[in-house]
Structure 1
Amino acid sequence: MRFVHPDGRIEERLGVAGESVMECAVDHEVEGIVAQCGGAAICGTCHCHVMPAWRARLEPPDEVELELLGYLEGHDADSRLACQIVLSAELDGIEVRLPD
């Protein structure tokens, strides 16, 4: 998968099917994904922006995720919590942009 930093730098990291984008980021020490709550979807520190080409391949966010995203600075239609995106073969190569 690919993490796009605010400065345009791209980090390519190998994710494992069944783990979340957040877990992949934490395992590879990707700057910008803090994951303070460890994936419980309660802190918002794994906020990312899914590149539009990938959005349709994801399950839509549930009400809890949508509510939390609404409180985050810089959220938009591409915003997701990385802890709620589970990697699979269909998401091989997914690209997410990290917030400023």
Structure 2
Amino acid sequence: MSDITVNFVSPNGTRTVTATAKEGDCLLTIAQINDQALEGTCEGQMACSTCHVIVDAADFDRLPEASEMEEDMLDLAAGARRTSRLACQITLTSELDGLTVRIPTESHNMQGV
């Protein structure tokens, strides 16, 4: 299994953190391991939108389609855009190597990251 690179862009766009993941890793877990401000209050149960990320437009079509339930949660996410997704619902694969996501400016991590 080869490493997968993921780029996290800060809300203001001034800083990018490049993280390494393995195939099958959850994007939310990789974000939290790399000190990104994604709370993930429901721990991936799709009961909140605190892991909302904005996927780079060039990468968006590489992702599987969001489920109807994920779309419903994204409707509640502050600052949601056309390329918004829940990080807890993105399982990293080799096809997603180089994925770039932005942490929304509306994101507030209440867990103190």
TM-score by length of 2: 0.84
Identify unmatched segments of 5+ residues in structure 2.
1-5, 106-113
Bigger Rg, which one: 2
Aligned residue pairs total: 99
Larger fraction in helix: 1
CA RMSD of aligned residues (A): 0.9
SS of the equivalent of 2:22 reads coil
Distance in structure 2 (CA, Å) of the matches to 1:6 and 1:25:
14
Identify unmatched segments of 5+ residues in structure 1.
none
Distance in structure 2 (CA, Å) of the matches to 1:20 and 1:64:
18
Alignment deviations for residues 64-98 of structure 1 (CA, whole Å, 9 cap, x no partner): 00001001110010100001111011111100011
Partner of 1:77: 82
Pick the aligned partner of 1:19 from 11, 14, 25.
Answer: 25
Percentage of pairs with the same residue: 36
Deviating 4+ runs (over 4 angstroms): none
Q: Is the 8 A contact 1:21 1:83 kept in 2?
A: yes
Larger fraction in strand: 2
TM-score by length of 1: 0.94
